[in-house]
Structure 1
Amino acid sequence: MGKIFLPKTAKLIISMITSDRYLFKLYEDVLIKRFGEVDIESNVQSFNFTDYYGEEFGKNLMQKLFSFCTLIRQDELAEIKIITNSIENNIENENIKNNMAYNKRKINLDPGYITLNKYILASTKNGPSRIYLNQE
Structure 2
Amino acid sequence: MSTPTIPDPGQLIISVLSSQWDAFWPDLLHELEEAYGPADTVTELFAFDQTAYYDAELGTPITRRLVGFTGLRPLDELADIKQFTNSLEVRQSAEGNRLFNLDPGFITLQSLVLATGKNFSHRIYLKAGIWADLTLIWQKKQWVDFPWTFPDYAGEEMKSRLTKLRQSYRNKLSKPQT
Q: Same fold (TM over 0.5)?
A: yes
TM-score between both structures, scaled by the size of structure 1: 0.84
Give 3-state SS (helix, strand or coil) of 2:71's partner: strand
C-alpha separation between the residues in 2 aligned to 1:135 and 1:16? 22
Deviations 1:47-76 (A, max 9, x none): 011111111111210010000012111010
Q: State the partner residue of 1:89.
A: 90
CA distance in 2, matches of 1:112, 1:124: 13
Does structure 2 retain, via aligned residues, the 8 Å contact 1:15–1:64?
A: yes
Greater relative contact order, per chain length (Cα 8 Å cut-off, separation 6+)? 1
User: 1:107 matched to which residue of 2?
Assistant: 100
Amino-acid identity (%): 37
Q: State whether structure 2 residue 113 is matched by structure 1 residue 120.
A: yes
Q: Say which SS state the counterpart of residue 132 (structure 1) adopts.
A: strand
Q: State the partner residue of 1:21.
A: 21
2:26 aligned counterpart, secondary structure: helix
| Separation of aligned partners in 2, 1:129 and 1:15 | 21
**Which amino acid is 1:84 matched to?**
T
1:9 shift after superposition = 0.6
| Residues 67 and 128 of structure 1, relative CA distance in 2, 3 Å threshold | farther
Q: TM-score, normalised by structure 2?
A: 0.65
User: Relative to structure 1, is the Cα distance of residues 106 and 132 closer, same or farther in structure 2, using a 3 angstrom cutoff?
Assistant: same
Q: Does 1:53 align with 2:54?
A: yes
What is the aligned residue count? 128
